[in-house]
């Protein structure tokens, strides 16, 4: 089917293949070509495509009631989903604010954190510190805290002046230290910046506990996260996790922060929560945050028209039910280890593969021109997009990372993030195609 060319998309006049249907880990286009979805869309379709229980739940809810305003009525679906989310979350989480996606969730984190400090009698606190080579969404506020220079530069006139610190990236340590002896000096940078900015002006620190598409699957050491928690506590700064990609099992635990034994103050979730069936986002708020509202004005001055929509919540609830009934978080942990092993067997010796990394089914390959110096490829080689393009031709979907994982501008990588239902034969097939892609493109 030819495109209508009436849809205003990223590549303005490109002819996109038209999707026909999807089932499990496979997607078919209208020409009958079959794709193995090792992207899960973009780390969204965690439970796989076409799950009947989810479709049925959405249909049943839409027969009862599809919309009421969330500040007038609640619904059984919204209440059930909030309970399910809290039951999977770190112990200190108490309430869920609903919205329609990841950017809205991060925008809400910024605002809830700000209001928390107002309610607590600290009206000067508003700055949000975040990290370079991160992504927190595509609205103006979330781009301002985001760390993907190429996506920020065109909108620079609108950016709020929010401070950023370096990533914790042991493969490319900004301090050229080794993990064994570094004592997490990259976390100390947070404290330095809080002091420079003035602790009485800093509201929150936001990070992806394990990074997604900007620098796929960088896993920090547990000590780093513990130190961040201490620093935030010392300066009354809320520690906020962007778990839009990692939440709901992607890294083999309910939330990625669970790997580090740390309890954050706010968590944003989105992609896996709706599983691609419904557009949903959520902010989980800890009792510490909720209490400040309780003791203060009692009012959260923030909402969206579609927040907590009953049909959307019924879909999200069925996604979580399916995830837990089929023990898919555990599957993500076990299958992720196996997938990582296969990738290492195939590509560890390749001279242009710098690092193969990840946790659960959030895996990343970083490519380098020179393995010893870790020099990235020049931009005009377009390694990430050409590798993803090669895979696409061969019927394999992977996520190409926006260049910049090495220094913000350069650095090519691939994100592999399949549905948790992927089986061994498909993992082997994916690794074979990826291996061919790397050997063909990186010469
Ligand atoms: C870590 C992270 N945060 C926020 C977002 C923004 O989510 P959305 O595209 O649903 O607005 C994304 C999207 O890729 C993400 O990966």
Euclidean distance between CA atoms 424 and 227, whole angstroms: 38
- The percentage of the chain sitting over the pLDDT mark of 90, rounded to a whole number, equals 98
259-316 per-position pLDDT tens digit:
999 999 999 999 999 999 999 999 999 999 999 999 999 999 999 999 999 999 999 9
Euclidean distance between CA atoms 267 and 97, whole angstroms: 10
Residue 243 Cβ contacting ligand 1 at under 6 Å: no
Element (DSSP H or E) covering residue 80:
helix 76-88
**How many angstroms does the Cα of residue 43 sit away from the middle of ligand 1?**
10
The pLDDT score that the predictor gives to residue 289 is: 98
Whether pLDDT at 443 is above 90: no
- Mean pLDDT, range 87-116, rounded to an integer: 98
Contact (CB, 8 A) for 311 and 317:
no
- Mean pLDDT, range 170-188, rounded to an integer: 94
Specify which residues 414 forms β-bridges with: 365, 400
- Please provide the average confidence, as pLDDT, over all residues in the chain: 97
Euclidean distance between CA atoms 257 and 263, whole angstroms: 7
17-31 per-position pLDDT tens digit:
999 999 999 999 999
Whether pLDDT at 144 is above 90: yes
The pLDDT score that the predictor gives to residue 354 is: 98
Euclidean distance between CA atoms 164 and 169, whole angstroms: 15
Atom of ligand 1 nearest to the CA of 279: 10
The pLDDT score that the predictor gives to residue 1 is: 78
User: φ, ψ for residue 221 (rounded to 5)?
Assistant: -75, 155
- What band does 10 get if pLDDT is binned at 50, 70 and 90? confident
The pLDDT score that the predictor gives to residue 402 is: 87
Element (DSSP H or E) covering residue 48:
none
The pLDDT score that the predictor gives to residue 310 is: 98
Atom of ligand 1 nearest to the CA of 102: 7
| The CATH fold of domain 53-325 | 3.40.640
Whether pLDDT at 81 is above 90: yes
Nearest Cα neighbor of 283 from 419, 109, 150, 404 is: 109
183-233 per-position pLDDT tens digit:
999 999 999 999 999 999 999 999 999 999 999 999 999 999 999 999 999
26-59 per-position pLDDT tens digit:
999 999 999 999 999 999 999 999 999 999 999 9
- The percentage of the chain sitting over the pLDDT mark of 70, rounded to a whole number, equals 100
Atom of ligand 1 nearest to the CA of 139: 11
Atom of ligand 1 nearest to the CA of 106: 4
Within 10 angstroms of residue 83's Cβ, the number of other Cβ atoms is 12
Contact (CB, 8 A) for 395 and 413:
no
Domain ranges of the chain: 19-50+327-441, 53-325
Ligand 1, pocket-test mutation among 10, 41, 43, 102, most atoms within 8 A of CB: 102
Q: Which residue blocks in 136-184 are alpha helix, DSSP H?
A: 140-145, 149-152
Measured CA distances, 62 to 71, 94, 299, 311, 395 (Å): 19, 28, 30, 6, 35
Q: Say how many CA atoms lie within 13 Å of 252 toward its Cβ.
A: 19
What are 197's two structure tokens? 């900015």
CA-proximal residue: ligand 1, atom 16 (nearest): 245
Euclidean distance between CA atoms 427 and 344, whole angstroms: 13
296: DSSP letter: T
The pLDDT score that the predictor gives to residue 299 is: 96
pTM of whole model > 0.85? yes
* Pairing label, strands 281-286, 93-99: antiparallel
177: DSSP letter: -
Element (DSSP H or E) covering residue 242:
strand 238-243
**How many angstroms does the Cα of residue 333 sit away from the middle of ligand 1?**
22
What is the CATH architecture assignment of 19-50+327-441? Alpha-Beta Complex (3.90)
Contact (CB, 8 A) for 268 and 289:
no
- Mean pLDDT, range 131-148, rounded to an integer: 97
Torsion of CA 172, 175, 177, 183, to 10 degrees: -120
199 alpha carbon, distance to own chain's centre: 28
């Amino acid at each position: 089917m030819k495109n209508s060319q009436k849809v205003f998309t990223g590549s303005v006049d490109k002819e996109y293949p038209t999707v026909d249907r999807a089932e499990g880990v496979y997607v078919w286009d209208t020409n009958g070509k079959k794709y193995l979805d090792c992207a899960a869309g973009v780390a969204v379709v965690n439970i796989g495509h076409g799950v009947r229980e989810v479709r049925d739940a959405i249909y049943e809810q839409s027969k009862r009631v599809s919309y009421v305003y969330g500040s007038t009525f609640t619904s059984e679906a919204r209440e059930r989903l909030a309970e399910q989310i809290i039951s999977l979350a770190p112990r200190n989480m108490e309430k869920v604010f609903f919205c329609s996606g990841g950017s809205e969730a991060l925008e809400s984190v910024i605002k809830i954190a700000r209001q928390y400090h107002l309610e607590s009698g600290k009206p000067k606190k508003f700055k949000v510190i975040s990290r370079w080579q991160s992504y927190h969404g595509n609205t103006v506020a979330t781009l301002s805290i985001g760390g993907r220079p190429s996506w920020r530069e065109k909108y620079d006139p609108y950016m709020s002046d929010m401070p950023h610190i370096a990533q914790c990236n042991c493969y490319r340590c900004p301090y050229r230290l080794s993990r064994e002896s570094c004592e997490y000096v990259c976390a100390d940078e947070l404290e330095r910046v809080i002091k420079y900015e003035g602790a009485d002006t800093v509201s929150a620190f936001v990070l992806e506990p394990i990074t997604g598409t900007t620098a796929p699957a960088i896993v920090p050491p547990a000590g780093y996260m513990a130190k961040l928690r201490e620093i935030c506590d010392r300066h009354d700064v809320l520690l906020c996790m962007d778990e839009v990609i990692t939440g709901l099992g992607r890294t083999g635990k309910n939330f990625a922060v669970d790997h580090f034994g740390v309890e954050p103050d706010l968590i944003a979730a989105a992609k896996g929560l709706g599983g691609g069936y419904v557009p949903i986002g959520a902010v989980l708020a800890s009792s510490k945050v909720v209490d400040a509202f309780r003791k203060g004005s009692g009012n959260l001055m923030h909402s969206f028209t579609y927040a907590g929509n009953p049909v959307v919540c019924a879909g999200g609830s069925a996604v979580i039910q399916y995830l837990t009934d089929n023990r898919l978080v555990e599957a993500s942990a076990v299958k992720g280890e196996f997938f990582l092993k296969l990738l290492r067997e195939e590509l560890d010796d390749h001279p242009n593969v710098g690092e193969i990394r990840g946790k659960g089914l959030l895996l990343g390959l970083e490519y380098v021109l020179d393995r010893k110096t870790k020099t990235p490829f020049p931009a005009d080689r377009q390694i990430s997009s050409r590798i993803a393009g090669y895979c696409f031709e061969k019927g394999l979907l992977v996520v190409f990372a926006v260049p910049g994982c090495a220094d913000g501008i350069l650095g090519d990588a691939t994100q592999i993030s399949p549905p948790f239902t992927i089986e061994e034969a498909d993992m082997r097939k994916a690794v074979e195609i990826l291996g061919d892609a790397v050997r063909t493109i990186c010469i």
